[in-house]
A and B are shown apart, each in its own frame.
Chain A
Amino acid sequence: MIENTKEVKDKDFNIKRSAEEIRNLSFKDHLCIGCGICESTCPVSAINLGDIGAIVRTDSQNSKLSINEGKCVLCGMCSGICPADALIFSIDSQPISKISSYPKYDAYAEIDDDKCIYCQKCEIACPREAITIARSLPDRSKLVTGEIDINEEICVYCGICEEMCPADAIDVDRTPESESIRVNKDKCVYCLVCKKSCPVTAIKAACRICSYGDYDINMEDAVTKGSSFIDDELCIKCGWCEGVCPTDAAKVKKPFEGTLTIHQDKCTVCGTCVDICPCDVLSFPKPSKSGEIVNNVAKDEQYCIRCGACAKACPVEAIEVQVTNVDYTPTKSKSWIEKFEALKN
Chain B
Amino acid sequence: MELKVNQDNCLGCGVCVVACPVNVSISPEVSGGHGSLNEDVIMMVENGFIKLFNEDKCEKCGTCQMFCPVDAIWLE
Contact = CB atoms under 8 A, between A and B. Distances in A.
| A–B proximity contact (CB within 8 A) | yes
Interface of A: 50-51, 53-58, 60, 62, 266, 268-272, 313-316
Interface stretch (B5-13, B19-27, B32-40, B44-52): B19-27
Given A62-B1, A270-B19, A53 B61 contact: yes
Contact of A315 (B1, B22, B66): B22
B21 A57 contact: no
Main secondary structure of the interface of A (DSSP, over half): loop
B63 interface: yes
A54 B21 contact: no
Contacts of B63: 53, 57, 270-272, 315
Interface of B: 1, 19-22, 24-25, 31, 59-63, 65-66, 74-76
Contacts of B21: 268-270, 272, 315-316
B66 A58 contact: yes
10 contacts: A51-B61, A54-B61, A56-B62, A58-B65, A62-B1, A268-B25, A269-B21, A271-B63, A315-B63, A316-B21
Contacts of B65: 54, 57-58
Contact of B1 (A50, A56, A268): A50
Nearest to B2: A51
A315 B31 contact: no
Most chain B Cβ neighbours within 10 Å, of A51, A58, A60, A315 = A315
A57 B62 contact: yes
A235 B63 CA distance: 28
B52 to A, nearest CB: 16
A268 to B, nearest CB: 4
Most chain B Cβ neighbours within 10 Å, of A58, A271, A316 = A58
Nearest to A61: B76
A341 B21 CA distance: 33
